[in-house]
């Protein structure tokens, strides 16, 4: 069993078997991470390049550590968002990186579909580390990994995703992945932040956070960009917080053992209250650890795939 | 003398096709009859093929002056002829903008030099397409502009649009409106709906088009002025125009081949060749467009031929230029998706791609009759072929139909009595 495609562009179209393979491999990687000597030779001789057109400390660091723990050569390329607009060709940049010997290119880009364009033009494996408002598959995989570790399974779990669904690539990837794994996904947010016809993706839509959280096994908050209010999508942050903020009172509606998640970075007191974010139901810090394990698993599976194809 | 022998003629006047030979002397049709025995020096054997009036395109972009790297009048008019268009009306959003008489004359002169399709410039409604100050419409008309449009941009200010309609009416000039509310369209890049949700794109709602269609209908209605709505793409727009026509509003409209041949599902895969403005809509809209063509709500099919350079399309979707290179697939798409599919008949297709556009622009063409200018095409309706953009005469290879199999192809094109395309090869 291996991954079907050379790239990981999104969880849309990934099969249940493929997702399970990634999560199972991540279990092994997490075991390695728990050792004092965190180093394996799995990626020896391989080279990983991250190409980030948006700032991100945690995702990039997570990929960097994942590569280093597995003995890969790794380099970071920072391209500012403005260089996208300046017409520096993504394809040219990708080909240059490939010519220097990259086996895997990890890309984050402000435009949806940019990793797909890159993947079409390079032979290296491309991992999408977040594209526009489309997908952030490695984040969703680490979320799913975390849920599976805590709950034993994903099947039939009720997962409530609360907040700005429209602009959230984390939400989209989680919806694709979780529905594939048989979870019941609910989304809730102000009507202006729910994308049209999202029911077609297999989720239940709520415009009321209480109803979405009722009986949930997992409650996932999303980062609310303050500019949404400036653009008129919200009357005020205050009203957002009172309607959709995840707080102790609302969490009483969820199952007693419900897990609280957030992809970070958190706007404390906006989408989630501090006592909840730091409370014992919260798995926010563990999500970060699991992120490294999941990325190790992906790098391993994708480079192994290349090797298999060569022999 | 030129004789087109043994073809089946759809003349744009008779409701039924008939078998006949067509004799051309100089730039005029001199005889249409069956079994003409002539000593014509050039004979085109049209046995088994159909002979139609040259197609007339009321909406295209030739990019010259200013964007010759995308297309120029030479490549654009050859591309038009390859697609069976003998007369084309080009939009003024060039650099500089066609908002003065000198530029109108320049385009006409350049087209005459190229000796391919005949070009009728459409001039700007507002200076520099700024949406604020009216152009000197009388001067533009004198120079040869056949209509006015700020295409590519909407005239957002309703007062300016109203004044433009009023002033143009006094000069008997037609305004062609690109209907798009820029605030509603926002930073959307494709149709808003299930597919934009699935692909993670900001959407452009149908309302962005429809509120402007409604506005323009109301303005035209209250002024009793004519208006032509460009590239209708939604069910709602079709319905608004249908109702307006019933009330007697002087509104005409066009759609483009991609709005009845493709849907927003084509965006899956992030190929920027599917990016166009207005965006590809849903299957339901496609059905409504077909119904509008069938019942006459949609008067004509125009290409909105919008060539772009490869470098402007092989980029991230949101950054890619909008538009489809349309001349060389228009007839085949219309034949395949409308005539073969039983939506309209071949004579109706001729009406929508030749006769009516000529009438709306008030230019010659659209009919095969003795004494008329010899703008004629011969089409092979049995021909099944695969679209290959590398074979386009247009510099713009940006077509989402590349690799698609279509039926019906233009094989010969005659402009002003001269064979400009023979056996699918341009001769000039
Ligand atoms: Zn337009
Ligand atoms: Zn146009």
- The 3-state secondary structure of B396-428, one letter per residue: CCCCCCCCCEEEEEEEEEEECCEEEEECCEECC
For residue A303, pLDDT over 80 is answered with yes
Same domain, B355 and B380: no
Q: Are residues B356 and B340 in the same domain?
A: yes
* A198 close to B (CB below 8 A): yes
pLDDT of A84 strictly over 70:
no
Q: What is the dihedral of CA B222, B227, B233, B238, to 10 degrees?
A: 50
Residue B374 has pLDDT above 60, yes or no: yes
Query: B199 and A116 in contact by Cβ < 8 A?
Result: no
What is the C-alpha separation between B180 and B202, in angstroms, rounded?
16
B367 is a domain residue = no
Catalytic residues of B, which ones? 304
Asked if the C-beta of B196 comes within 8 angstroms of chain A's C-beta atoms, the answer is yes
Asked if residue B157 and residue B39 are part of one domain, the reply reads no
Its domain, for residue B242, covers 54-361
pLDDT at A308 over 60: no
B391 within some domain: no
Model confidence band, residue A309 (pLDDT cutoffs 50, 70, 90): low
pLDDT of residue A31: 95
pLDDT at position A83: 67
- Average pLDDT for chain B: 97
Q: Would the CB atoms of A114 and B316 count as touching at under 8 Å?
A: yes
Q: Does the pLDDT at position A307 exceed 80?
A: no
Q: Does A83 touch chain B (CB under 8 A)?
A: no
Classify residue B231: in a domain, yes or no.
Answer: yes
Same domain for B270 and B382, yes or no, is: no
Claim to verify: residue B19 and residue B77 sit in the same structural domain: no
Is B392 inside a domain boundary?
A: no
pLDDT in tens, B278-332: 999 999 999 999 999 999 999 999 999 999 999 999 999 999 999 999 999 999 9
Put simply, whether B106 touches A (Cβ < 8 Å) is no
Q: In this predicted model, what pLDDT tens digit does every residue of B205-227 receive, in sequence order?
A: 999 999 999 999 999 999 999 99
The pLDDT of residue A310: 47
CATH number, residue B270: 3.20.20.140
CB contact at 8 A, B246 and B224: no
In B257-274, which positions are buried (b, 16+ CB within 10 angstroms) versus exposed (e)? Answer: bbbbbbbbbbbeebbbbb
Residue B109 contacts A where some CB pair is shorter than 8 Å: no
Residue B395 lies in a domain: no
Count the alpha carbons within 13 Å of A92 in the hemisphere toward its beta carbon. 7
The whole-chain average pLDDT of chain A stands at: 93
Query: Are B58 and B24 part of one and the same domain?
Result: no
Residue A56 banded pLDDT, cuts 50, 70, 90: confident
What confidence category does residue A225 fall into, taking pLDDT thresholds of 50, 70 and 90?
confident
Chain A residue numbers touching B279 (CB-CB < 8 A): none
Q: Which residues of A touch B318 (CB under 8 A)?
A: 111-112, 132
Here the tokens at position B18 are 């008939």
Could you give the CA distance from residue B366 to residue B55 in angstroms, rounded to a whole number? 7
Same domain, B27 and B110: no
Same domain, B178 and B125: yes
DSSP B355: I
Structure tokens at A269: 């007191």
**B108-140 pLDDT per residue, tens:** 999 999 999 999 999 999 999 999 999 999 999
- CATH of residue B39: 2.30.40.10
pLDDT of A311 above 50: no
- Total structural domains within chain B: 2
Residue B371 above 90 pLDDT? yes
Token pair, residue A311, equals 């022999």
In a domain, B184, yes or no: yes
Adjacency order of strands within the sheet including A125-131? A73-78, A47-52, A104-109, A125-131
Q: How far is B202 from chain A (nearest CA, A)?
A: 8
Kindly list the strands in the beta sheet with A184-188, ordered across the sheet, starting from the edge strand earlier in the chain: A204-206, A184-188, A158-162, A218-221, A259-261
The lowest-confidence range among A90-99, B89-98, B144-153, B329-338 is A90-99
- Can you state the angle between helices B158-170 and B206-223, rounded to 10 degrees? 40
pLDDT digits (tens, 9 = 90+) for A10-46: 999 999 999 999 999 999 999 999 999 989 999 999 9
Chain B partners within 8 Å of A113 (Cβ): 199-201, 270, 316-317
Same domain for B107 and B121, yes or no, is yes
Q: State yes or no: pLDDT of A9 exceeds 70.
A: yes
Rounded mean pLDDT of B32-39? 85
Name the residue facing B200 among A89, A112, A117 (closest C-beta).
A112
Backbone phi, psi, residue B361, to 5°:
-85, -5
Distance CA(B314)–CA(B397), nearest Å, equals 11
Q: Mind listing the pLDDT tens digit for each residue in B257-266?
A: 999 999 999 9
The closest CB to that of B200, out of A91, A169, A197, belongs to A169
Quick one: pLDDT at residue A226? 85
Q: Is the pLDDT of residue B25 over 50?
A: yes
Q: Answer yes or no: is pLDDT of B3 > 50.
A: yes
Whether B393 maps to a domain, the answer reads: no
B7 with B61, same domain: the answer is no
CB contact under 8 A, A198 and B199: no
Q: Are residues B22 and B104 in the same domain?
A: no
pLDDT > 90? residue A112? yes
Looking at the structure, tell me whether residues B322 and B422 fall in a common domain.
Answer: no
CA angle A76, A78, A80 (to 5 degrees): 165
| Structural domain contains residue B150 | yes
Closest CA–CA distance from residue B265 to any residue of chain A (Å) = 14
- Average of per-residue pLDDT across A244-268: 95
């Amino acid at each position: 069993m291996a991954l079907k495609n050379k790239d990981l562009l999104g969880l849309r179209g990934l099969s249940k078997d493929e997702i399970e393979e990634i999560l199972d491999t991540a279990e092994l990687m997490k075991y390695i991470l728990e050792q004092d000597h965190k180093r394996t030779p799995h990626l020896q001789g391989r080279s990983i390049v991250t190409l980030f057109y948006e700032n991100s400390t945690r995702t990039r660091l997570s990929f960097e550590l994942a590569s280093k723990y597995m003995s890969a050569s790794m380099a970071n390329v920072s391209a500012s968002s403005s260089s996208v607009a300046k017409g520096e060709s993504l394809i040219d940049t990708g080909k240059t990186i490939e010519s220097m010997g990259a086996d895997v290119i990890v890309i984050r880009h402000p435009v949806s579909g940019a990793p797909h364009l890159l993947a079409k033009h390079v032979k290296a494996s491309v991992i999408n580390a977040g594209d526009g408002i489309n997908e952030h598959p490695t984040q969703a995989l680490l979320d799913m990994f975390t849920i599976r570790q805590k709950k034993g399974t994903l099947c039939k779990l009720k997962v409530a995703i609360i907040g700005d669904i429209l602009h959230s690539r984390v939400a989209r990837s989680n919806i694709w992945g979780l529905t594939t794994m048989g979870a019941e996904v609910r989304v809730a947010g102000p009507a202006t932040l729910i994308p049209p016809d999202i029911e077609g993706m297999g989720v239940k839509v709520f415009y009321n956070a209480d109803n979405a959280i009722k009986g949930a096994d997992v409650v996932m908050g999303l980062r609310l960009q303050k500019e949404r209010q400036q653009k008129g999508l919200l009357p005020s942050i205050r009203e957002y917080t009172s309607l959709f903020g995840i707080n102790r009172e609302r969490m009483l509606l969820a199952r007693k053992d419900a897990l609280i998640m957030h992809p970070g970075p958190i706007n404390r007191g906006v989408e989630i209250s501090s006592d909840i974010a730091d409370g014992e139901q919260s798995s926010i810090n563990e999500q970060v650890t699991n992120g490294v394990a999941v990325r190790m698993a992906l790098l391993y599976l994708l480079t192994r795939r290349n090797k298999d194809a060569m022999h | 003398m030129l004789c087109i022998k043994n073809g089946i003629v759809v003349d744009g006047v008779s409701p039924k096709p008939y078998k006949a030979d067509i004799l051309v002397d100089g730039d005029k049709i001199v005889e249409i009859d069956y079994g003409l025995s002539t000593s014509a020096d050039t004979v085109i054997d049209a046995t088994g093929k159909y002979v139609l009036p040259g197609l007339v395109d009321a909406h295209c972009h030739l990019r010259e002056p200013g964007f010759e790297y995308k297309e120029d009048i030479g490549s654009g008019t050859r591309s038009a002829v390859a697609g069976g268009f003998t007369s084309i009306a080009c939009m003024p959003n060039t650099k500089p903008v066609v908002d003065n008489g000198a530029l109108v004359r320049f385009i006409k002169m350049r087209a005459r030099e190229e000796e391919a399709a005949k070009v009728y410039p459409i001039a700007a409604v507002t200076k520099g397409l700024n949406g604020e100050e009216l152009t000197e419409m009388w001067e533009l008309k004198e120079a040869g502009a056949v209509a006015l449009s700020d295409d590519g941009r909407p005239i957002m200010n309703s007062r300016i649009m109203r004044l433009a309609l009023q002033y143009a009416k006094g000069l008997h000039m037609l305004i062609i409106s690109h209907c798009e509310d820029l605030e509603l369209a926002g930073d959307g890049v494709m149709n808003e709906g299930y597919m934009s949700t699935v692909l993670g794109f900001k959407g452009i709602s149908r309302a962005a088009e429809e509120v402007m269609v409604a506005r323009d209908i109301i303005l035209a209605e209250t002024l009793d002025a004519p208006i032509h709505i460009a590239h209708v793409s939604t069910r709602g727009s079709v319905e608004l125009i249908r109702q307006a026509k019933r009330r007697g509003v002087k509104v005409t409209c066009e759609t483009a081949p991609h709005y009845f041949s493709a849907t927003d599902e084509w965006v899956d895969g992030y190929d920027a060749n599917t990016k166009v403005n207005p965006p590809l809509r849903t299957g339901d809209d496609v059905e409504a467009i077909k119904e509008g063509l069938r019942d006459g709500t949609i008067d004509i099919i125009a290409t909105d031929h919008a060539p772009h350079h490869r470098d402007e399309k092989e980029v991230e979707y949101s950054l890619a230029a909008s538009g489809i290179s349309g001349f060389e697939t228009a007839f085949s798409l219309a034949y395949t998706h409308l005539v073969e599919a039983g939506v309209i008949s071949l004579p109706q297709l001729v009406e929508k791609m030749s006769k009516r556009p000529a009438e709306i622009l008030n230019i010659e063409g659209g009919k095969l009759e003795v004494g008329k200018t010899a703008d004629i095409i011969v089409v092979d309706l049995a021909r099944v072929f695969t679209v290959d953009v590398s074979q386009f005469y247009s510099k713009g290879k940006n077509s989402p139909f590349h690799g698609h199999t279509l039926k019906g192809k233009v094989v010969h094109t005659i402009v002003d009595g001269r064979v400009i395309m023979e056996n699918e090869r341009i001769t000039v």
